[in-house]
Structure 1
C-alpha cells in the first residue's frame, strides 16, 4: 500500500506532465529517492498495466492513485497472510485455502515480499478458484490463465453457448480483486440479465455489487452492474466521468456496429482491463470482428483501412489468414462444446396440464380483471393520485406479483390481496374519496377464501405418486411452497423446504438432508441460486417464471456436468390462464426445453439488440395493457413470432460465426 506522502508525490509529478503515456524514467527526476524499477512496481501494484512499449497510461495511474486514497488493502483471512509472509512461498498451500462464511472481511496488511510475489510472478497459480463456490472445468481455468498472463486482462471470451463464459469472467474479476489489481468494475449486460449477474457474483464469487437502477449511484459503487441501454442513455455522463479498473460486457455482439450509441459509449469508457463476452462475435461482416477486437484491445488490428487492406478479400472472406489468426490469439478465446465438455444424459420434458374447476377459474379471472381495473384507472388513467413515479412503480410491481401468484396458489395470491394490495387501495381511496375499488377487492378476497385445495396441488400429489423418486419442486413464492409442504406432509412425504428466508446454516442443513435422505425438495428462486443439484434426476416447475432465464437456471442446476441419469422435467400449466400462454410461447416457438443451457440468453439478446427491455417487461406490458383474454392471446402470438425470429437470427449468426472463425481460432 502506498503511503500518503509517496502517493501525493506521484500525483504531483504526473500532473506536471502533459503526455498521455509515461515511462518510470519520466518521473525519476521528481522522485529522486526511487529507482525506475521501484516506480514500475508501484504502478503495477496499483493495477496499471504497461503497453507493449513499456509505457503506462498517465490518466490510469492518476485514477488508481485517487482510488488507493480511499481503499487499497487486499482482503484475505488472517491465516493466508501468515503463509504469504513465510519464504519460500508455498503456492500449493495458498491455492488450497478457502474462506468460510463466518470469517469477517477485515483488511490485513500485506507484507512487501508477498506483494512482490503476487504481482511480479504473474499468474502461475490462481487464487480465485479456491476462494469461490465454483468447480471450474480445465478449459475454463486455461482460459482464465491466458486472459491474465498472455492477454493482460483485455480479451474476448467467445466460447460457444453453454460453456460458462460467465464463470470465466467471474474468476478473472475475483483474481484481480484478490491481488489488489481491480477495485472498481463496471458490468454492462442486457436488461434481462442484470439480476442474474448480481446473483452469480454474490453466490458463486462472494463479490458484492451495486445495481445502477437510478442516477448518482456509480460514484460510490465498487462493482456496478447496469443494463447497457440505461448506461448509454441516462447514466452515460456519470459512467464516463470516472476510471474503471475493469469493464465486462455480456452479449457483446450487440456492439458489433461502430456507428451505434452503444459502441461509442463503451469505446469512450476509461478503463484498464476489458472483457467482452459473446458466442457470436462475427455474424454478417468481418468488420464486426474488427469492431469488437478494437473495443477489447484498441490498436491490435491498427486502423480500419489497414484491416480492410491486409485482412479482407471482401466483407465475408479473410486473407492473410495465418497472420490474422496469430493476432486473434492475442485477444480471443473460443472453446467449442465438441472438444470441451462430456456429453450430458438426455432430458425428457413433460407438460402437465391442470384443469381448474369452475370456482378456481372464476377466481383467477376475477384477480386478473381487478388488476386490469387498478392499472387502467391509476397507472394509465387520468385519476390524480398525487404519487411520484416511485410510488406508481410500487403499484405496478404489486399488480405484476398478483398476476404471477394467480397462477401459483390461492394462498399466495390471497396473502398479497389482503396485505400489500389492500394497503395501496386504501391509500388510493383516501386520496380520491372513492371506495369502489376497496369494495371490489374485498369481494375478490372473500371469493378466494371459499376455495379448497388447489387443483394444481392435487395434480402434484398424483404426479409424485406415479413417479415415486426424489424430486425438486420449484415455485417463485414462499406461500406456495408452504401450502405444498402442508399438503405433501399430510400425505406422508418427506419434505424439505428451501427459500431465501433461511439462514446460511439452515440452507446447508436443508440441502444436506435432501442429499442424504431424498424426498421432496421445495425451493424458491431466491433460495436456489448457485445450487448444484445434479444428484437429483426429477424436477417440477410448479409455476412458470415470466423471466425465462430463471426457468433455464432451474433446469441447469440439475441437468449439468456430473449428472449421470436421464433428467425428467415436468412443467405445470393451468389451462385458460396466463401461464398456459407463456409456456406455449417458450415451448412451441423456440423449443426452449431442448436447447443447450445458456442459449436462451443469447436468443433474447437478438430479440432486443438495444439491451433496452427484458422479455419479462414485454410480457408484463402485454398482460397489463390488454383489455381481455382474447387480446392477451393475440399479443402473445405476436411475442412468440418475435421470439422465433430472434431464434432464427441467432441460429444464422451461430452458423456464420463458426464458418468464419473455424480457420482463425
Structure 2
C-alpha cells in the first residue's frame, strides 16, 4: 500500500516540466499517446523543442516515418501544459486525417475550419473563429490565405504546416499563397513538415527557413549571392557555414537508419487489363469529343476546366454514372432555354456523384477565378437553335448510355478480386479488399454486381454521404456496442466512419469506397487496394494506398489498377504514375522523392486534363505525353539530391546510436510514469474505485464504469467497454490535483522492502537502516521553463544518499507512522544539501544558457555581416560598372555615344557618392537592429527562480 507521500511525489513527477535535452520533456505526451512511439519520432519532437520552440523547426524525415506523430507529440505536450492556441495548415485532402489522428492517437479535439462553419461562428458573435479555447484548429492552405488577417491576430502557441515543400518557393514573387502565409504567421513558433525541403535550388531551403527564423540569413539577395548557385560552386568554407547555420532548425532521418525499429512491407502491383465494348467505346469517344469543344453551353464557363474534369472522371468510371451526369447537363440546357439559369445549381447537380468535390474545387479555384462570367453574359447572344441542337446531341448520348446494360470493366473486377484474394492467401493476409471508385453511382453498380456474383453479405459501402439504410443500421449497432466506452465522439460523421471501418474489419470482406475514404481512416488490417478508377493526381493515389500500406501493416500490400487497352491516353497516364511516380511497387513510401518534387498534384492533374482536352489524334496524344514525361524526368531527377544528402543528413552510425539511447530512455520514462500514475490512482481513488492490478484496470463504485490503463490498450488487450485511462483523463487530473494540493506534516514512513515483489539491489543494503528525507520543487524559467524535484536525504550516520536511491524508495510499499518533529540540526543539514544541489542545477542551466547565447550571438553576427556585405558588394559592383563605362567611352569615336556614356557615368558617380555617404549610416542601423535582437535574447536567458518545499519524512526500510 502506498502513502500520501508516495502519491504526492508521484503527482509532481507526472506533471513536472523537464528541459528539452531529456526525454522527460515529452513525459506528458508519451504517457498520453495511444501509439507505439519509435525513438526517431521522440528525437524529432525533442529537436523541435530544442530549436527552441519560440521560433520552430523543419522536420524533414523521409515519407513513412511518421512526421504527423512527431508533430502530434509536440502538440500533445503543449496541450498538457495548457498551451492550446494551436493551428495546423494542410492541403485540403489531409484535414480529416489530422482531425482523426489527433483524437485517436492523442485524445486532442480539433475543429476543421472552413467557410461554412467560419461564417456560422461570425454570425454567432465570434469575431475571430480561429480563436478556439479547447480545440486545435485545422484549415487548408487556401482558407488560411483567405483568412490571413485572422491568423495574424491570434497569439499562437505553435503553427504546424504540413506538406511544407509547397512553401519552399516563397522567395518567388509569383508564389502568392506562400508569401501571404509567411507574413500571416510571422512571429509565431512554427513546425514545417516535409520529406523534401530541397529539390531544385538552395533558394528553396532559404525559403523554408525564412518561415522559421528571418535572422538566420541576411536577406534573399545576400543568400543568393553567397549560396544560391548550388554546392558545386560553393567554397568549402561557405558550404560548412551553410550546414552549420541550418543545423539548429532542420532535422532529417532516413528510412534506412530506423530499420531496427520500423518494419517495412512491400507493395505488389497487379494490372487488370480490359477492353471497352463497342458501345462503351462509342459512348466514350462521342462524349470526349463533345467535351473538347469550346462552344458547349451545358457546362458553365466560370468553372469549365474543373467541371470538364469531373465529367471525364465520371465518364471513365462507368456508363451508369455518366448516364445520370448527361441527364444533369440536359436539365441545365432546359433551364437555360426556359427561364434563365443560376450557375450554382449545375455545380450541385454534376458534383453530386463525386465525393471531395469541394476540396478539389478549393484547390482549383485560383485558376478558375479569372475565367468567371455572370449569368447575363452567358445568356446574351445565345442562339436558341444551337441550344436545342446541343440538348438533342446530349439526349442521343444519354440514350446510348442507357442502352448499355453491363460494363467490361465491371466484369474485369471479378477477375481482379479473384487474383487479389489468391495473392493475399499466399501472403497469409486477411481476405479483405478496399475498392476505390470516383463515383457514388458506380459504387452502387459495383455493390449490386458483386452481390449477384458470390459476394452477398460481404460488402460495406463508404462514401461522403454515408446515409443509406445499411449504413444507418451499422452506425446504430456500433453506438449500442460502444455505449459504455470512449470510442463515441459525439460527431455523427466521425462515429459513422469509425463504425464502417469496424464493420469492415469484423464482418465484411470488401469495402467499396469513394474518395472520402482515402483520408482519415486506418485500414492497416486490409492488404488489397483496388483502384477501380484511377485519379490523375498522384498525391491522391498515395493517400488511397496509404490507408492500408502504413506503419503497423504486417503484410505486403497488393495494389490492383485497371487499364483500358483501347484508350491510348489512359495507358500513358498509367505509365507516368507507375514508372515515373513509382506509386505501385517497392517499399513503404517509395514515392517520397518523386511526390516531393511536385508542389501540388493538382498541377499535374491540370496538365493531364489539358492533354485530354486538346489532343485528338494518336500522334498528338503521344507527342503531348512525351513532352510531359520529359519535363517530369527533369523535375523528378532531383538536381539537388547530393546537396540535400551532404547538407541535411547525418552519418547512419551517429543517428543509430542516438536513437538507441532514446529508445532506452523512452522505455524507462514510460514505465516509470505508468507506475507513478497507477500508484497515485490506487491511493487517491481507494474510496472511489476497485482496482485490478492484473489488468491495470478499475471500476468506479458509484456507477461501475470500467477504466483501463492506456498501456494495456496499446498492447491490444483492451477490455470491451473500458474507458481509456491516461494522464490527461479528467479523473486522473482530479486525483493528481488532489495529491498536489494536500498539505503534509512531517511523519515517519516505513518502506517495506520485504513486501516488494522483485529485487532492488541498491536498497537491499539499506534494510534495517533509517534517516531523514526532504523533497523540494525547484522551478527555473529561463530559455525554457524547467522543474526539478530535488531529494535531500541522509541516513542515521549523516551520510548523504544519492537521488536515484531516494527515487527507488518510493517504488516500495509503505506505511505512514506518527507525526514527528525534525531536529534543527538535521533540518539545517537537509537545507544545505538542497542548496548544494540547487547550485549544481543552476550551473548546468547556466552552461546551456551560455551555449544558447553564444549560438544566438554568432547567428546575429552572421546575419548583420550578411547585410553589411550586401551593401559593400553593391558599392563594388557600381565601381566596376563606372570603370567599364569610362573605358568604353574612351574607345568610342561616335560623339553622341560618348556624351551619353559620360552622362551615365556622372549619374552613377553621383549614386556611388550617395551610397558611400549612406553606407555607414545603414551599417549603424544594422548594428542597432542587432543590438535590439540581442536585448531580446538577453531577456530570454534571464533566470526567474522559485522553490517550494513539498514534504519531509523520517524514513525506515524494513
Q: 1:467 to 1:289 in 2, by over 3 A?
A: closer
The DSSP-based 3-state class of the residue aligned with 2:65 is: coil
Q: Specify which of 620, 625, 638 is matched with residue 627 of structure 2.
A: 638
Counting only pairs closer than 5 Å after superposition, residues 401-416 of structure 1 correspond to structure 2 as 401-416=310-325
1:465-517 CA-to-partner distances (Å, cap 9, x unmatched) read 34444322221222222211111111122222222322555544443343235
Q: Specify which of 447, 457, 474 is matched with residue 410 of structure 2.
A: 457
Q: Specify which of 525, 530, 535 is matched with residue 535 of structure 1.
A: 525
Question: Is 2:432 the partner of 1:470?
Answer: yes
Q: 1:470 to 1:197 in 2, by over 3 A?
A: closer
| Structure 1 residue 410, shift from structure 2 partner | 1.9
2 CA distance for matches of 1:477 and 1:250?
Answer: 28
Matching residue of 2:442: 480
2 CA distance for matches of 1:416 and 1:173?
Answer: 44
Question: Is 2:480 the partner of 1:564?
Answer: no
| Structure 1 residue 638, shift from structure 2 partner | 2.7
Counting only pairs closer than 5 Å after superposition, residues 23-422 of structure 1 correspond to structure 2 as 90=11, 123-127=25-29, 130=32, 136-148=37-49, 151-152=52-53, 154-173=56-75, 175-176=77-78, 179-183=81-85, 185=87, 187=89, 194-205=91-102, 206-210=109-113, 220-221=129-130, 223=137, 225-227=139-141, 245-253=157-165, 259-261=171-173, 262=175, 268-269=183-184, 270-282=186-198, 289=205, 292-300=208-216, 316=234, 318-319=236-237, 328-341=246-259, 342-373=262-293, 376-378=295-297, 392-393=301-302, 396-419=305-328, 421-422=329-330
Question: Is 2:594 the partner of 1:603?
Answer: yes
CA contact (8 A) 2:58 2:249 kept: yes
More RCO (CA 8 Å, sep 6+): 2
CA contact (8 A) 2:99 2:520 kept: no
1:311-333 CA-to-partner distances (Å, cap 9, x unmatched) read x9985455499998776553222
1:431-454 CA-to-partner distances (Å, cap 9, x unmatched) read 443322221222111111111221
Q: 1:576 to 1:640 in 2, by over 3 A?
A: farther
The DSSP-based 3-state class of the residue aligned with 1:534 is: coil
Question: Is 2:529 the partner of 1:620?
Answer: no
Q: 1:166 to 1:405 in 2, by over 3 A?
A: same
2 CA distance for matches of 1:599 and 1:412?
Answer: 34
What stretches of structure 2 of length at least 5 have no aligned partner?
A: 1-6, 103-108, 132-136, 341-381, 422-430, 467-492, 656-958
Matching residue of 1:524: 514
1 CA distance for matches of 2:256 and 2:462?
Answer: 36
Matching residue of 2:893: none
| Structure 1 residue 283, shift from structure 2 partner | 5.8
Matching residue of 2:839: none
Q: 1:449 to 1:513 in 2, by over 3 A?
A: same
CA contact (8 A) 1:552 1:597 kept: no
Matching residue of 1:583: 574
1:215-265 CA-to-partner distances (Å, cap 9, x unmatched) read 99996445464548x978x88778667765544444545655785335765
2 CA distance for matches of 1:199 and 1:418?
Answer: 32
RMSD: 4.4
Q: Specify which of 622, 634, 637 is matched with residue 648 of structure 1.
A: 637
The DSSP-based 3-state class of the residue aligned with 1:441 is: helix
Q: 1:345 to 1:143 in 2, by over 3 A?
A: same
2 CA distance for matches of 1:426 and 1:119?
Answer: 70
1:27-64 CA-to-partner distances (Å, cap 9, x unmatched) read xxxxxxxxxxxxxxxxxxxxxxxxxxxxxxxxxxxxxx
2 CA distance for matches of 1:354 and 1:435?
Answer: 36
Question: Is 2:331 the partner of 1:423?
Answer: yes
| Structure 1 residue 396, shift from structure 2 partner | 4.9
2 CA distance for matches of 1:596 and 1:317?
Answer: 37
Task: Provide the TM-score with structure 2 as the length reference.
Answer: 0.49
Structure 1 stretch 240-249 or stretch 474-483: which is displaced more? 240-249
Q: 1:646 to 1:307 in 2, by over 3 A?
A: closer
Q: 1:282 to 1:356 in 2, by over 3 A?
A: closer
2 CA distance for matches of 1:528 and 1:556?
Answer: 8
CA contact (8 A) 1:357 1:455 kept: yes
| Structure 1 residue 350, shift from structure 2 partner | 1.7
What stretches of structure 1 of length at least 5 have no aligned partner?
A: 1-85, 94-113, 381-390
Matching residue of 2:502: 512
Matching residue of 1:594: 585
Q: 1:632 to 1:537 in 2, by over 3 A?
A: same
The DSSP-based 3-state class of the residue aligned with 2:640 is: helix
Equivalent pairs counted in the alignment come to: 533
CA contact (8 A) 2:530 2:560 kept: yes
Matching residue of 1:78: none
Matching residue of 1:36: none
The DSSP-based 3-state class of the residue aligned with 1:479 is: helix
1 CA distance for matches of 2:606 and 2:11?
Answer: 51
Matching residue of 1:546: 536
2 CA distance for matches of 1:138 and 1:145?
Answer: 11
Matching residue of 2:473: none
Q: 1:586 to 1:323 in 2, by over 3 A?
A: closer
2 CA distance for matches of 1:508 and 1:240?
Answer: 35
2 CA distance for matches of 1:423 and 1:118?
Answer: 66
2 CA distance for matches of 1:603 and 1:354?
Answer: 29
Question: Is 2:644 the partner of 1:657?
Answer: yes
Q: 1:447 to 1:136 in 2, by over 3 A?
A: farther
2 CA distance for matches of 1:128 and 1:208?
Answer: 23
CA contact (8 A) 2:434 2:526 kept: yes
